Amino acid sequence: MEVMRIDRLMQTLAHTIEKLKGERDMSDKELYQGFDMEKQKEYEEEVKTRWGADDPQVKESLAKTAHWIKSDYAEAKQRMDDLHRRVRDVFVRGALPDSPSTQALIGEHYQNIVCFYTPTKEIFQGLGQMYVDDPRFRENYDKLQVGLAEYMRDAMNAYAQREL
């Protein structure tokens, strides 16, 4: 699934930053983990198996990323990392999930997803629920701030209700 791939890319970027700061040693293989085009093919197959190759969002995602190279994935990951930190910041300051500041950020999140596929209201809400239910996503959000996965879900639900 595209979001899982982005999640892996986010982890790789965090490790790369640690390497650049001298806080971590990384092999070239680790440096490009998440940018592995063979792995990308595996993720594409997982998506096709889970949702079907004829699913409109699957087709759209495969078409939109067919020409992408490592730097495109790195840029998408960087945007998501930055966005997640900003969502965490409004969460920590006590903004409600449906507050204007949070909803503006969730609008950015939606647009980042649109780089891959255009989610329907139900798909966007389901993605938010997956952030809570899937241990891989929950772990990454909880690394930033405990409770952030639920906050993202609630904010995405509010956005979907209002905008989609």
Mind listing the pLDDT tens digit for each residue in 131-164? 999 888 899 999 999 999 999 999 999 999 999 9
Domain containing 59 equals 2-163
Average pLDDT estimate for 80-85: 93
**Token pair 């971590």 is at which residue?**
24
**Calculated CA dihedral for residues 136, 152, 13, 40, nearest 10 degrees:** 60
Give me the DSSP letters along 93-139: TT--TTSHHHHHHHHHHHHHHHTT----HHHHHHHHHHHHHSHHHHH
Q: Are 117 and 2 in contact (CB under 8 A)?
A: yes
User: Where is mean pLDDT largest: 9-13, 44-48, 106-110?
Assistant: 106-110
pTM over 0.95? The answer is no
Name which of 14, 44, 50 is nearest 30 in CA terms: 14
| Total structural domains within the chain | 1
Task: Identify the pLDDT of residue 45.
Answer: 62
Q: What is the CATH number of the domain that holds 50?
A: 1.10.490.50
d(CA 55, CA 92): 37
